[in-house]
Amino acid sequence: MIIGVPKEIKDNEARVGVTPAGVNALKEAGHTVLVETQAGAQSGFPDEEYQNAGAEMVGDAGYVWGKSEIVVKVKEPIESEYAYFREGLVLFTYLHLAPLPALTNKLLEAKIIGIAYETVRDRRGTLPLLMPMSEVAGRMSVQVGASYLEKERGGRGILLGGVPGVPPAHVVILGGGVVGSNAARIALGLGAKTTLIDVNLNRLRELDDIFNGRLYTLASNRYNIAQTAREADLVIGGVLIPGATAPRLVTREMVAHMKKGAVIVDVAIDQGGCVETARPTSHSHPSYNVDGVVHYCVTNMPGAVPHTSTLALTNATFSYVLRLAGLGAREALRQDAGLAEGLNTWLGTLTHGGVADSQQRAWTPAASVLG
């Protein structure tokens, strides 16, 4: 099988779909890997490493797309890449098709086999190819928050862990899923007083156990959120109601009552944010101030640490790439119902109910098209 790894060209995207280690494993399995020159450079993987691992380096993106049977990417294709689409090509990447009817049409017209990272499920029903990015964002949220708490960056001038004789900062985390629990790990590690709020009491029990009582847990309700927001130095938003916009748990009024120079990192901003005053920001302009409270609401936080993010992502995606290459798409999808949930388009047919619902169009379940 010929596997292609183009360089990502979406604005500010520095990750890459396959690392040199991945190339090595694919080569050992007897496949050919075409990597576009400089594809991994911004993630810390120079062309030389790919070459040493056995990749064929190609200067022309069109050639990579044109010769490959499977293209492994990170982000959804942008318009200038549509010209490379052709019938039967397997595209394995984040697609996020629900809000993108134009891309959906192009994939269907070109009869692409589109498998989206974000809808692949594992045996436990979780989303294994989304989880690594939540891990990165969760851990990063405390690091970013600690930095914005410094005076220079508009914060209260507080050291997260305090020092002997001076109390630590109070970190309040909304949501105890992947983002929240990873944020809690770092906040506690840095010595902050850490409170985590979730609606799921069983999850709070689990976290209480995992963190051995060092984490304060609270049931999610308006009263508890208002009170902890007032006391917080750093609020981290990590709630998710799958498929829905995030609930606005911290209201404008609560923000107005927060300490001046406190910091909000709303990780859930990609689902609309769980803080009423949050609006999406980018790495070039990451923060702004409302009522003296610093807001950091970057929608693609893992993009700031592409080396870690590429490794975390490819650790999770790679076994699927190997199976798709080894068995061919149809057989790999037939053998793994969770991977088949990742199938969004199959040779001109839309095969994902969620995408179909949000675009109000017809669809056919993956199992029917795979035969």
Ligand X SMILES: NC(=O)c1ccc[n+]([C@@H]2O[C@H](COP(=O)([O-])OP(=O)(O)OC[C@H]3O[C@@H](n4cnc5c(N)ncnc54)[C@H](O)[C@@H]3O)[C@@H](O)[C@H]2O)c1
Check: CB of residue 157 under 8 Å from CB of residue 149.
yes
Q: Where are the alpha helices (DSSP H) in 222-365?
A: 222-231, 252-256, 306-327, 329-335, 337-340, 353-359
Q: Are strands 193-198 and 170-174 parallel, antiparallel or unpaired?
A: parallel
Q: Does 145 bind ligand X (CB under 6 A)?
A: no
Query: Which one of residues 119, 195, 271, 345 is an interface residue with ligand X (CB under 6 A)?
Result: 271
Query: Exposed, middle or buried by CB within 10 Å (0-12, 13-18, 19+), for 221?
Result: exposed
Q: Is 285 among the residues known to form the active site?
A: no
Q: Does 197 bind ligand X (CB under 6 A)?
A: yes
Distance from first CA to last CA of the chain, Å, rounded?
22
Q: Does 220 bind ligand X (CB under 6 A)?
A: yes
Sheet of 56-58, strands arranged across: 56-58, 32-36, 2-5, 70-72, 90-93, 113-116, 343-346, 349-350
Q: Does 300 bind ligand X (CB under 6 A)?
A: yes
Residue type for position 50: Y
Q: Does 200 bind ligand X (CB under 6 A)?
A: yes
Q: Does 240 bind ligand X (CB under 6 A)?
A: yes
Of the ranges 46-54, 68-76, 269-277, 344-352, which one interacts with ligand X (CB under 6 A)?
269-277
Query: Which one of residues 22, 114, 145, 247 is an interface residue with ligand X (CB under 6 A)?
Result: 247
Instruction: With CB under 6 A as the rule, give the number of residues binding ligand X.
Output: 32
Of the ranges 13-21, 148-156, 263-271, 337-345, which one interacts with ligand X (CB under 6 A)?
263-271
Binding mask 159-178 for ligand X (x = CB under 6 A): ---------------xxxxx
DSSP 37-66: TTTTGGGT--HHHHHHHTPEEES-HHHHHH
Q: Does 133 bind ligand X (CB under 6 A)?
A: yes
Q: Min. distance of Cβ 168 from ligand X in angstroms?
A: 23
Q: Which residue of the chain is nearest ligand X when measured via CB?
A: 177
Q: Does 134 bind ligand X (CB under 6 A)?
A: yes
Phi, psi torsion values for 107, nearest 5 degrees: -65, -40
Query: Which one of residues 69, 198, 336, 341 is an interface residue with ligand X (CB under 6 A)?
Result: 198
Q: Rank residues 64 and 268 by Cβ distance to ligand X and give the closer one.
A: 268
Q: How far apart are CA 5 and CA 50, in angstroms?
A: 11
Q: Are strands 90-93 and 70-72 parallel, antiparallel or unpaired?
A: parallel
Of the ranges 30-38, 265-273, 283-291, 330-338, which one interacts with ligand X (CB under 6 A)?
265-273
DSSP 10: S
Residue type for position 342: G
Q: Rank residues 204 and 350 by Cβ distance to ligand X and give the closer one.
A: 204
Query: Which one of residues 29, 78, 210, 241 is an interface residue with ligand X (CB under 6 A)?
Result: 241
DSSP 130: T
Q: Which residue, 198, 190, 210, is CA-closest to 141?
A: 190
Residues in contact with ligand X by the rule CB under 6 A: 133-134, 137, 174-180, 197-200, 203, 220, 238-241, 246-247, 249, 267-271, 299-302
Would you name the residues annotated as active-site residues?
Answer: 96
